[in-house]
Amino acid sequence: MNKNESKYFNTAVKMDEALISLLEKKEFAYITVKEICEKAGVNRSTFYLHYDNTSDLLKEATQHILDRFCSYFTVDTESITLRYAQTELKDLLFITPEYLTPYLTFIKDNQRLFKTAVRELGSMGFNKVYEKMFTYIFDPILARFDFPENTRAYVMKFYLSGITAIAMEWLAGDCADSIDTIIGVITECVLGKLKFYEQNP
């Protein structure tokens, strides 16, 4: 990265962070370019050098959040998606410490950011991310578990909403309980107490 690219990147990150910070206090529709510039410490001409409008910045900020989120995972999910037809059913469960630990660690490290992302799910475009996850990851998995096609969206909504609700309750307590405790709660809720104790004798 050369000096100009580095300067551009640093300015973009400042504006991403400024928007995310403002989203913690108010809805996206009421955030102005002036507020973003003041928060980021840049002038309006710099903003318009990078973006046409606040929606452009929102797209970039969303990607910034997703990149930060994905950096917590070392699991090769791409290879998993290529093995749906052959892999054993037990290996298709994502409700395991392998997947939940990085997810919960991200939440604990980025508490305000996660609250903002959940509250602004629609405007930040995360609903589209969930749609892609459902189409390419969860739907094939549920098919392997013989869930009827017309019920799969309901099942995934139940799981995702439940896990998010547990995470939000954990956040309400400033993430005081350990990550292992929350993994236990999620596993017990999703897989049932007996399944949890089979995995953790």
Q: Which amino acid is at 124?
A: M
The SS3 call for residue 81 is: helix
Q: From first to last of its 201 residues, what are the pLDDT tens digits of the chain? A: 333 445 667 888 899 889 988 988 888 889 999 999 999 999 999 999 889 999 899 888 888 888 888 788 765 555 555 555 566 766 666 677 877 888 899 899 988 888 887 777 777 766 666 676 667 667 777 887 788 999 988 888 888 888 889 999 999 999 999 999 999 998 888 776 545 445 555
Closest CA to 21 of 126, 116, 142, 151: 116
3-62 belongs to CATH 1.10.357.10 = yes
The SS3 call for residue 52 is: coil
b/e sequence 12-39, b meaning 16+ C-beta within 10 Å: bebbbebbbbbbeeeebeebeeebbbeb
Give residue limits of the domains in the chain.
3-62, 75-199
Per the listing, tokens 């917590």 go with: 72
Burial class of residue 67, CB neighbours in 10 A (0-12, 13-18, 19+): exposed
Count of residues in the chain: 201
